Amino acid sequence: MSEESDLRESLTRVMQRMAQSGLNRGSSGNASARFRDGMLITPSGVPPAQLTPSMMVYVTPDGASAPDACRPSSERRMHWGILAARPEAQAVVHCHSRHATILACCEKPIPPIHYMLGVIGPGAVPVAPYETWGTEALARAAVAALEGRFGCLLAHHGQITIGRSLDHALAVAEELEEQAAVYYGTLLIGGAAALSAEQLAESARQFEGYGQR
């Protein structure tokens, strides 16, 4: 398979997996992958079950797409803004997963109360300030909140993650939703205890040697 057909297949699979796992509902949520000097991105307003690899849209750095292609995601500015600002990122995943969105609506960052938050980045997962969906202003807010980390909440909207691959960005999105659900649960029973700076630093060192070689 060519790199392009591979990415088109992966984008389709990621969207369908997000629907199956409950990370997303309806036609909200979108994903992109760096390709050539631009990106391949999911089309606007197509439910995941109806997506096919040929519907993925190539968008150039100046935002253009072929006239006979599907219309690209309404969040293409946010996706490209992030890919342009973060050369190490190969993919972006955005969704309105329930617990992340609950916290985002309350403008509550996720504090480091569980060591797995380190998968997303150091310290708390921040909330990017509210901006209207689909705008350059939202793209700038997301880029700023993602600095130094793989994921953040978007106020009154949802969550967005980046990765070294589409699968990595999806794994971060899944962990962000899990951490949001855990934090939400702790708020219901009186609040979590904090991890100390030393405990977090020790956990970060453990992550350096984590996984398969």
Alpha-carbon distances, residue 80 vs 3, 92, 134, 210 (angstroms): 19, 9, 11, 30
Task: Name the active-site residue from 3, 4, 9, 75.
Answer: 75
Phi, psi of 38, rounded to the nearest 5 degrees: -125, -135
198 belongs to the catalytic site: no
Say how many C-beta atoms besides its own lie within 10 A of residue 60's C-beta. Answer: 13
Sheet containing 91-95: order of strands: 57-59, 38-41, 30-35, 91-95, 158-163, 151-154, 127-128
Q: What is the largest CA-CA distance in the chain?
A: 55
Pairwise CA distance, residues 104 & 139, whole Å: 16
CA pseudo-torsion sign 145, 161, 25, 39: positive
By CB neighbour count within 10 A (0-12 exposed, 13-18 middle, 19+ buried), where does 192 fall? middle
d(CA 183, CA 185): 5
Pick left, alpha or beta for residue 148 (phi over 0 → left; psi -120 to 50 → alpha; otherwise beta): left
* Active centre residues (catalytic): 75
